[in-house]
Amino acid sequence: MDKCNLHKQQNAKRVCAKCGKTFCDECAKQTDYSGFCAECEKTRQNTVAKYSLKKQVGYLSNTIACFVGALVFLIFHFVFNDFKTVGIVGLYVLGAVGVLFLVLTVENGLKIKKAKKTYKKLCDFLSVAKNEKGE
Query: Where is 109: in which H helix or E strand?
Result: helix 83-133
pLDDT in tens, 5-14: 777 787 877 8
pLDDT in tens, 123-134: 776 666 555 555
Residues 89 and 77: their CA atoms lie apart, in Å, by 13
* DSSP state, residue 3: B
Question: Is residue 82 predicted with pLDDT exceeding 70?
Answer: no
Task: Give per-residue pLDDT as tens, 23-57.
Answer: 888 877 777 776 777 788 888 777 777 766 666 66
Mention every residue, 6+ apart, whose C-beta is less than 8 A from residue 78: none
CA distance 97 to 69: 10
What pLDDT is attached to residue 69?
Answer: 75
Amino acid at 14: R
Domain residue limits, the chain: 1-44, 51-133
Q: Taking a C-beta distance cutoff of 8 angstroms, is the pair 26, 46 a contact?
A: no
